[in-house]
Amino acid sequence: MWSKDEDPLANCSLITPQPCEEERNSKHIEKNATTYECVSCLDDVLFPPKKKLLPAELRKLNSIAILLCVLTLLVAMSLTGVSYATYTDSKSCSIFAFAFDALLQAVSSLMLIWRFSTFTTVSLEQKETITTLGVAFVNAVSAISIIVPTVGVVIRQEKATNARVSVIVAAVGMTLYAVLSVLKFKVSRKLGSSALMTDTIDSFGGALLGLSVLVSSLILLFTEKLWFLDAIVALGIAALMFLYAVVVIVKQVIMWRNTETEEL
């Protein structure tokens, strides 16, 4: 037996396994990673499972989202002016619907720019909810503003004229809206932003409206017997826009009430 001074165990110390460099880096990344929370009724349907984003990734996607919103704003304002000028000459219900939808698309884009801005003190959850409701409300107003004059045109049996110009405007607008909606769809899924997704659906609706105007205008070039097709297209798109807006608003209100109840 060893004496106390010679006991080798007396000089032993417990050594715990140390993480390798890769493990330390992964823990550091997880610590700095953040999840972009979404507070919309669209989460379960349109968004993939939540994915943590690094701050650098989040800032990059935010910048891309703002850029897309600015581009949408410029496109929408241009289409508003051109489409309304076309409407004054052709008296086409569908091209008027296209013009008014473009105007409210511009308003939605301004809301989205505020949503992704960093110069406000409003919390992320509040901005997300406010913008989602705002865009949905704009869609509802747009739908009503399209339905009312279109019904009047049908009652008076006014026929659209100068369909060639409407074809050109609708084709250009449809293409631009389609490209923007695809880009915004990809970014909104990565961010998990319901506000941007709602605006994406609005742009997609604009593309569908442009396609409808294009088809109805082409038909009017060959026959005037289907003059009412122009109005039917406008009413159909407006009805879908209004229904979508109501569903989003109702579900958002239900979610807000449930949140208030849980807090109590």
52: helix, strand or coil: strand
pLDDT of 213 strictly over 50: yes
Q: Give the pLDDT score at 74.
A: 96
pLDDT of 77 strictly over 90: yes
Average pLDDT over residues 4-32: 47
Residue 228: burial class (beta carbons within 10 Å; 0-12, 13-18, 19+): middle
Instruction: Check: CB of residue 113 under 8 Å from CB of residue 73.
Output: yes
In a domain, 25, yes or no: no
In a domain, 181, yes or no: yes
- The structure's pTM equals 0.68
pLDDT of 195 strictly over 90: no
Please tell me which residue, 142 or 175, carries the higher pLDDT value: 175
The phi and psi torsions of 236 (rounded to 5 degrees) equal -65, -45
In a domain, 35, yes or no: no
Q: Give the pLDDT score at 158.
A: 66
DSSP line for 93-137: HHHHHHHHHHHHHHHHHHHHHHHH-SS--S-HHHHHHHHHHHHHH
Average pLDDT over residues 165-172: 89
The percent of residues in the chain predicted with pLDDT above 70, rounded, is: 74
What's the CATH number where 145 sits? 1.20.1510.10
Give residue-wise pLDDT tens across range 22-37: 445 444 444 444 444 4
Q: Give the pLDDT score at 166.
A: 84
In a domain, 118, yes or no: yes
pLDDT of 162 strictly over 80: no
Lowest mean pLDDT: which of 59-63, 84-88, 152-156?
152-156
Q: Give the pLDDT score at 249.
A: 85
Average pLDDT over residues 240-246: 84
Please tell me which residue, 109 or 21, carries the higher pLDDT value: 109
In a domain, 157, yes or no: yes
Please tell me which residue, 234 or 113, carries the higher pLDDT value: 113
pLDDT of 7 strictly over 70: no
Q: Domain range spanning residue 211?
A: 52-263
5: helix, strand or coil: coil
- Would you place residue 71 in the very low, low, confident or very high pLDDT band (cuts 50, 70, 90)? very high
In a domain, 241, yes or no: yes
Domain count, the chain: 1
62: helix, strand or coil: helix
In a domain, 2, yes or no: no
Give residue-wise pLDDT tens across range 231-241: 787 788 788 87
In a domain, 40, yes or no: no
